[in-house]
Chain A
Amino acid sequence: MRRSFLGVIILAAILMMNIIFTQYMVHQYYYENYEKVLIFGGLNIVLFPLAVFAYKKTINMRA
């Protein structure tokens, strides 16, 4: 595996987690478990700086 694809893979994984958390959040909202809505919404927000960090760390990787 070429190291240069590591960043793409990490970001794709983060995006996948975003999708899962969003779906959980919406479902838990309709089930009226509002604590869980806050937890998953918070996780969704935390993932964004994580994605920026992953981008900056991996962008200059060669080959």
Chain B
Amino acid sequence: MSDKNNKIPFNEDNYTHNIERNNERKLDRRGFMKTLVGAAGVFAVSSLPWGAVAAKELMGLGEKEYPHKKITDVSKLPIGDAVEFKFPGDHDDAILIRLSENKYVAYQNACTHLRCPVFWVKEQGEMICPCHHGKFDVETGSPTAGPPRRPLPEIQIKVENGAIFAVRVKRYEA
């Protein structure tokens, strides 16, 4: 121990009892403006990843076709039922719905409002997001009720040798 703090009253160089009475918790204009500049810097840095991902999409890397992925067998999916799967990545939830003998639709089922998983209600013939009761049209994926404004991304489906494959995610057309 040094004798630095041995005087009474000792020299307070700590961070918990350092409030001076005369300029207690001082926030002057200069400090406030520095905070504002810092916040602008945070905004600038936080827009970098968005720009990077957008540039990647623009260069056509996002257009690549994913390896076809088997979802299920036709015999295991009765008409009117749905099955959930992952496509194209392991964390991209998707749903496949069999509407009739030969009609299948598949969407990435993260709700376009706040990304809750959308599920298929067979009795009502609707796709419903449980979080804020958003509804989607099952034929097109477009929103019909509730907060979501953008359609669900559609996944192209291919049926081959009694099995259903996910081919690619359709581009969104505004």
Q: Give the B-binding residues of A (Cβ under 8 A).
A: 4-5, 7-8, 11-12, 14-15, 18-19, 21-22, 25-26, 29-35, 37-38, 40-42, 44-45, 47-48, 50-52, 55, 58-59
Question: Which residues of chain B are within 8 angstroms of A37 by Cβ–Cβ distance?
Answer: 50-51, 54
Given A19-B43, A48-B37, A55-B34, output 14 extra A-B contacts at Cβ < 8 Å: A14-B36, A18-B44, A21-B43, A26-B50, A32-B174, A34-B55, A38-B55, A41-B50, A45-B47, A47-B44, A50-B40, A51-B37, A51-B40, A59-B33
Hey, which bits of chain B sit against chain A, CB under 8 A?
Answer: 29-30, 32-34, 36-37, 39-41, 43-44, 46-48, 50-51, 53-55, 57-58, 112, 150, 171-172, 174
Q: Flag if B43 contacts A48 (CB, 8 Å).
A: yes
Question: Could you list 22 examples of A-B contacts with CB < 8 Å?
Answer: A8-B32, A8-B36, A11-B40, A12-B36, A14-B36, A14-B40, A15-B36, A18-B39, A18-B40, A29-B53, A29-B54, A32-B172, A34-B55, A34-B57, A40-B47, A41-B54, A42-B51, A44-B43, A47-B43, A48-B37, A51-B36, A55-B33
Closest to A37 in B: B54
Task: Say which residue of A4, A11, A26 sits within 8 Å of B37 (CB atoms).
Answer: A11
A40 — which chain B residues lie within 8 A by C-beta?
47
The chain B residue with its CB closest to the CB of A31 is: B174
A32-B37 in contact given A22-B47, A44-B43 (Cβ < 8 Å)? no
Consensus secondary structure, chain A interface: helix
Least distance between A36 CB and chain B CB atoms (Å): 9
Whether B43 and A22, one on each chain, are in contact in the complex, defined by CB atoms closer than 8 angstroms, is: yes
Q: How far is the CA of A47 from the CA of B30 in the complex (A)?
A: 19
